[in-house]
């Protein structure tokens, strides 16, 4: 059982009541509780006051030890008592990574088309913390996968991180934006890159296995998907 659901039920709140308290929808609370939507720092901070807890406990399940005289609090590491007669350590643990302050916008939608495509009109769903590898990449972003067309590589609802600055090669997984009509919507596809020339862009998918072809003049961008993960 998720921490959100456990605390909500302990307080006697329904999903609808909690949703009203945090100014969101009941389906959004359901997705957060079921793990279908990533619990970001922003969401944790919104929910925590209404669940009688802290954002840290919602995200990590525990609070750091409150020991005022513990010098390790300065680094966030637990204090260790050195046993008597213990030989000097032959290695030192590195310091904790600095807190990553950069965030990435997440695009996507709950329901995709027949081939998992979704409208990508610049409207962000939320922000998530940037992976270290993308923290300095200008224009980096993330998308939510729609549908099952890329399973078992990417699953419906999974988040995919994108590096728009890196060169795409055959066999890479990409997020391609296509605009078939001059003033129409831009559709995004999470697929595998086959080729892109002056005539067409060719992508492949797994379920069902097939190739998708787009006229070259309809291609807005093809960006490299560098990593993905469950939300």
- pLDDT one-digit tens code per residue, 48-57: 888 888 887 7
The DSSP H or E segment spanning 228 is strand 219-229
Distance CA 7, CA 53 (A): 8
116 burial (CB, 10 Å; 0-12 / 13-18 / 19+) is buried
What pLDDT shows up at residue 67? 38
Burial class (CB in 10 A: 0-12, 13-18, 19+), 95: exposed
Picking from 33-37, 62-66, 83-87, 118-122, which range would have the lowest pLDDT averaged per residue? 62-66
pTM for the complete prediction? Answer: 0.56
- In this prediction, residue 95 carries a pLDDT of 43
CATH class of segment(s) 3-60: mainly alpha
pLDDT recorded at residue 110: 54
Secondary structure (3-state) at 18: helix
Ranges of CATH 2.10.109.10 domains, the chain? 103-229
Query: CB within 8 A of 155, min separation 6: which ones?
Result: 145, 148, 230
* Choice between 69 and 161, residue whose per-residue pLDDT is larger: 161
Provide CB contacts within 8 A for 207, sequence distance 6+.
148, 149, 150, 151
- In the chain, CATH 1.10.260.40 sits at 3-60
Pairwise pLDDT comparison (138 vs 223), residue with the higher score: 223
Average pLDDT, the chain: 79
Q: What pLDDT does residue 65 have? A: 39
Percent of the chain predicted with pLDDT > 70 = 78
Identify the architecture of domain 103-229 in CATH: Ribbon (2.10)
Which tokens hold the place of 208?
């069902």
pLDDT digits (tens, 9 = 90+) for 157-176: 888 999 998 999 999 999 99
Fill in the DSSP letter of residue 151.
T
For the residues 76-104, what does the mean pLDDT come to?
A: 51
């Amino acid at each position: 059982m998720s921490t959100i659901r456990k605390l909500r039920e302990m307080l006697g709140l329904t999903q609808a009541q909690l949703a009203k308290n945090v100014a969101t929808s009941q389906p959004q609370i359901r997705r957060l509780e079921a793990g279908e939507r990533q619990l970001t720092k922003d969401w944790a901070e919104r929910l925590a006051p209404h669940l009688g807890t802290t954002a840290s406990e919602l995200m990590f399940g525990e609070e750091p030890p409150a020991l005022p005289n513990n010098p390790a609090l300065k680094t966030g590491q637990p204090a260790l008592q050195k046993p008597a007669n213990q030989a000097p350590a032959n290695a030192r643990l590195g310091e904790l990574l600095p807190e990553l302050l950069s965030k990435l916008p997440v695009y996507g939608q709950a329901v995709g088309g027949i081939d998992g495509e979704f409208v990508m009109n610049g409207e962000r769903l939320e922000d998530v913390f940037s992976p270290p590898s993308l923290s300095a990449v200008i224009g980096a972003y993330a998308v939510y996968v729609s549908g099952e067309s890329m399973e078992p590589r990417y699953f419906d609802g999974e988040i995919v991180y994108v590096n728009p600055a890196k060169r795409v090669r055959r066999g890479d997984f990409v997020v391609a934006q296509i605009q078939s009509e001059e003033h129409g919507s831009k559709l995004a596809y999470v697929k595998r890159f086959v080729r892109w020339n002056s005539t067409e862009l060719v992508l492949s998918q797994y379920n069902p296995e097939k190739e998708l072809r787009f006229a070259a003049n309809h291609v807005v961008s093809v960006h490299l998907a560098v990593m993905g993960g469950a939300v």
